[in-house]
Amino acid sequence: MAPTLAPEAAPLQTFRLRMVRLAILLGWASVAVVFAGSMLPSPLRPMSSQQAVWILAGAAAAANGVLALLPWDRLVGRRPGEAVLTVWGTALVLLVAALTFLEGGWTSDSYLLYFLVLPFVATTEGRRRQFALYALALGGYALAVWLAGSRPPIGILVVRLGVLLGACGVATVLAQIVTETALSRARAEHKARMERILADEAHHRIKNNLQLVADLLTMEAGKAGSQLGVVVDETLSRIQSVAAVHQSLAHRAVGRIGLRPVIERIATLLADRLGAGRAVTVRGDDTELEGDCATWTALVVNELVTNALRHGQGAVTVEFARQGGLLELCVTDEGPGPADASNGLGFALIHRLVEDGMGGHVATGAEDGGWRVQISVPLDAEEAPRARADR
């Protein structure tokens, strides 16, 4: 069976289609040569076989005409087309053997047509069928010479069979080289196409995140009584959260990234800068999000952990998990919680990102002597950030 071509191997499909069309053209040329050769006088060719050669060449011409009418652009690479190619290759091998027999066996030059048939077989058939047709070609030639009755010098027969065997090897190697070259070209083109897509995606994300940073700076600077140092500190923390997402994206070949390493990176940065010895623990599953949604979630985690470290007490815990079609994320600390959880730019930003941006829900409250903030985000709304950014 011929090898199944990968979808990205379009150049290989194109090459095989060209070989089929070339074989049809060579078929017409070969029929013309056989007709012309049979009309020329030759002392080594039996005159009684001339009519049979014409009939055989006429049948070959008719078959070649039928093959020329087939829709090869739709057949190559599909099972019906592969079956036709196998029958075609087998018929060509047998045709050359028949011509060799009719023209006197070892004195016939028709065996030279094998040098056109063998490359066609090598480029259109799988390895097993190649070898089967090679064996048929060698055996068919030897049988045609034997049945013709004229016994050739053993040296000539051995040389011709050896040359045909070598031609089989050369055809196989050349077909393999062309196949590997075509596949390598297809992979390179696919890789270049993916790199262009990823580059466009990166430019899109950078544009969106630069706009997001600008919005955060504007919001922070517009807060009553804001000071430059505070604005820079708050914005730095948020930029680092966005950078944590891009760091994960840089190590992935696809747009989805694991949420846990991003949150762990944010927790480590905030604990080092604001923790003053307090621990920040992260517990979660292997949930993955699209890049834009991961960016927004990272900013939410940044605000929640920052609030917990600045205004809460004791250890801070970040837990998240996929539950059905929701992402459930919870940040807890051991303090009593703020007097008014709705005040402050940080919490306003959380509501804006979760509720307006991702269609989620924010819940706060005391729990087991500590303070808990929980967000729920529908995972089927992951494209919401991208849709809003594109508008």
Is the pLDDT assigned to residue 65 strictly greater than 70?
yes
The count of other CB atoms within 10 Å of the CB of residue 244 is 25
- The pLDDT of residue 384 is above 70: no
Q: Rounded mean pLDDT of the chain?
A: 81
What's the pLDDT at 391?
A: 42
Q: What does each C-alpha distance from 382 to 290, 323, 326, 327 come to in angstroms? A: 7, 15, 11, 10
Q: What is the DSSP letter of 334?
A: S
310-353 confidence digits (pLDDT tens): 888 889 999 999 998 899 999 999 888 776 545 555 677 788 88
Residue 389 has pLDDT above 50, yes or no: no
Predicted confidence (pLDDT) per residue in 26-46, tens digit: 999 999 988 888 777 665 555
What's the rounded mean pLDDT across residues 144-158?
86
Q: Indicate the pTM of the whole model.
A: 0.53
Is residue 309's pLDDT more than 90? no
Residue 52 confidence (pLDDT) above 80? yes
Per the model's pLDDT, the better-predicted residue between 209 and 62 turns out to be: 62
Cβ contacts of residue 316 below 8 Å, gap of 6+? 267, 278, 279, 280, 281, 305, 308, 309, 331, 332, 333
Tell me which of 257 and 66 has the higher pLDDT.
66
Strand, coil or helix: what is 160? helix
pLDDT, residue 167, reads 93
CB burial of residue 360 (10 Å; 0-12, 13-18, 19+): buried
Instruction: Look at 31-35, 229-233, 359-363, 373-377 and tell me which has the smallest mean pLDDT.
Output: 229-233
- 3-state DSSP assignment of residue 88: helix
Secondary structure class of 81 (helix, strand, coil): helix
Whether residue 123 has pLDDT greater than 60: yes
**Residues 6+ away with beta carbon under 8 Å from 64:** 24, 27, 28, 31
Read off the tokens for 103. Answer: 């023209």
| Tokens 């430019």 belong to residue | 203
Which among 125, 127, 13, 117 is positioned nearest to 72, based on CA atoms?
13
What is the maximal distance between C-alpha atoms in the chain?
A: 116
**Which pLDDT does position 131 carry in this prediction?**
94
At residue 70, the pLDDT reads 94
CA angle 375, 354, 346 (to 5 degrees): 90
Q: Which of 127, 125, 142, 141 is nearest to 89 (CA)?
A: 125
The whole-angstrom separation of Cα 221 and Cα 234 is 10
DSSP bridge pairs for 205: none
Band (pLDDT 50/70/90 cuts) for residue 272 is confident
β partners of residue 326? 323, 378
Higher pLDDT: 292 or 71? It is 71
Whole-number percent of the chain with pLDDT over 90: 32
pLDDT digits (tens, 9 = 90+) for 187-242: 888 778 767 765 666 666 666 666 666 666 666 666 555 566 656 666 666 676 66
Residue 292: is its pLDDT beyond 80? no
Can you give the pLDDT at residue 388? 46
Query: Which domains are seen in the chain, by residue range?
Result: 10-192 (no CATH), 222-390 (3.30.565.10)
pLDDT at 266: 86
